[in-house]
Amino acid sequence: MELDLRLVRYFVAVADELHFGRAAARLHLAQPALSRQIRKLEDQLGYRLLERDSRHVTLTGRGEKFLADARELLRVADRMRQPGEANRVRVAHIFELSTSRMVVDAYCKARPDVELVERAMDSMSQLNALLCDRLDVAILRVTPEMLANHPKGWSHTLLRLEPMRLVGRTGDASRTTRSLFERPVEVFGDDTDSGLYNAHGNYLTALEQEVGIRMQWLGTPGAFSHCLKIVQRSTASAFLLEFDSYARLYASEGLPVSDPAELRPHYPWSIAWRDGPLFQAAAEFLEIAHETAANNEWRSFEAGEVPPWLPSDDPVAQEVGNGTLMIRRGK
């Protein structure tokens, strides 16, 4: 029997998602067409891979076994098509935030012989690219929704707890702390009505609910240069809540930076990879990422007089609470 690798890829996408609609969107196919292709694969094999009804998709026992073999088959096929893959690592950045940049710089210094292919993607896009084998590692925020929608096929562990700062306006007095209730708080993020709501937005919504304020969502303009121009043009009296990575850039432009007085928000970055054997270059990337985190003391809360904060349902909360770094795998 000669297997069509395209159909095998389709099956793996459905097995990852356990939802034909999401898998079809991920594969850029119409859902009926994807269903026909899965049935074609089952006909070729002579047995059922999936049990499906109007509400649920589950793997059969033979489907579970075929999935493990299918992943390995696709990895071998990809290596045969791309013989240089073992000496290449594909990674993505989220705008100009420093976490992934510092990890990549450390890796390039340690392994100058490895080709780095770098892209720009938000957290959800990174996870989709990782599961579709378009990235080898992802540096992203993991959300409960990601784990619910993609329970298998990948692992992640905490990399950094990045403090969030308040950026003032030109001419504001420099102060160590500022109240979140002193002025309106602006954020560069896409709200739930934008159609672009993402992992960052999910974090901001949780913070709004915890503090009891309604922030002003400015959308996501992208590069720091665009964000800076928007802040400089604004005549409104407000604070901008920003990552420490960006806050340092605003400070270099003369804008005052303070810490929130009520609590100390930290943004959790994780590093993620596909389950299964890692080729050496990717395994070394993970090692260097964790060395970079340890050297910069990224995986601890910044000390302060007010309590540190993470969303209560954040997937890394257990790692932080236990004081350990646990590799968390889909069940």
Contact 208, 215 (CB under 8 A): yes
Residue 115 main-chain phi, psi, to 5 deg: -80, 125
Which residue reads 């299964």 in tokens?
Answer: 276
Could you report the per-residue pLDDT of 253-281, keeping only the tens digit for each? 999 999 999 999 999 999 999 987 788 89
Which two three-digit tokens encode residue 276? 């299964």
Tokens of 138: 């992802």
pLDDT tens-digit profile, the chain (331 residues): 678 888 998 899 899 888 888 888 777 778 888 999 999 999 999 999 999 877 789 999 999 999 999 988 887 776 665 544 568 999 999 988 999 999 999 999 999 999 999 999 999 999 989 988 889 999 999 999 999 988 888 999 999 999 999 999 998 999 999 999 999 999 999 988 888 899 999 999 999 999 999 999 999 988 899 999 999 999 999 999 999 999 999 999 999 999 999 999 999 999 999 987 788 899 999 999 999 999 999 999 988 889 999 998 999 876 665 444 433 333 2
Widest pairwise Cα distance in the chain: 74
The runs of H, that is alpha helices, within 46-117 are: 61-81, 98-110
What's the CA angle centered on 253, arms 251 and 258, to 5 degrees? 25
**CB of 240 closer than 8 Å to CB of 224:** no
Please state, in angstroms and rounded to a whole number, the distance separating the CA atoms of residues 260 and 178: 5
Alpha-carbon span 282 to 88, nearest angstrom: 8
